[in-house]
């Protein structure tokens, strides 16, 4: 993973609303959640939600799939794993941390 991409993903998650949004999607599991359902849970205007969602999709942390008029959103676990891996490998020299996590994600 390139530093630029990692930074973009970190920035995407580095907003309370988006982090909360991402968490909601994670908890929804493999079934995902329609944009409208997410809106119901978070209670933010649809246009604001759409912008935040786009940011997560653009950085590769969330995927979307059309089902008729509704858009199903899913947390992209491999993307998150790659990011955690980057942090562990590139940004955590602690002997206790980096090798252990690196192995766990392998």
Partner DNA sequence: ATTCAATTTCGAAAATTATGGAAATAGCAT
Partner DNA sequence: ATGCTATTTCCATAATTTTCGAAATTGAAT
Binding part of the chain for a second copy, among 6-14, 33-41, 47-55, 65-73 by CB under 8 A, reads: 6-14
State the nearest-atom distance from the C-beta of 6 to a second copy, in Å. 7
13 binds, among a second copy, DNA, none (CB under 5 to 8 A by kind): a second copy
* Length of the chain measured in residues: 106
Q: Among residues 38 and 88, whose Cβ is nearest to DNA?
A: 38
Residues numbered 22 to 61 that lie near a second copy (CB under 8 A) are 22-23, 26-27, 29
Q: Where are the beta strands (DSSP E) in 1-106?
A: 33-34, 62-67, 70-75
DSSP collapsed to 3 states, 71-90: EEEEECHHHHHHHHHHHHHH
State the nearest-atom distance from the C-beta of 78 to DNA, in Å. 21
- Residue choice 2, 47, 78, 96 for contact with DNA (CB under 7 A): 47
Choose among 75, 81, 87, 80: nearest CA to 106: 81
The Cα–Cα gap between 88 and 1 comes to 12
Residue 59 sits at φ, ψ, to 5 deg, of: -90, 0
Binding part of the chain for a second copy, among 38-46, 49-57, 62-70, 72-80 by CB under 8 A, reads: 72-80
């Amino acid at each position: 993973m390139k530093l630029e991409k990692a930074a973009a993903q970190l920035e995407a998650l580095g907003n309370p609303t988006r982090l909360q949004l991402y968490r909601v999607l994670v908890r929804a599991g493999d079934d995902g959640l329609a944009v409208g359902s997410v809106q119901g849970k978070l209670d933010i205007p649809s246009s604001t939600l759409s912008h935040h969602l786009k940011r997560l999709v653009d950085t590769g942390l969330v995927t979307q799939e059309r089902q008729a008029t509704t858009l199903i959103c899913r947390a992209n676990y491999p993307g998150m794993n790659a990011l955690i891996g980057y942090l562990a490998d590139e940004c955590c020299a602690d002997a206790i941390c980096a090798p252990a996590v690196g192995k766990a994600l392998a």
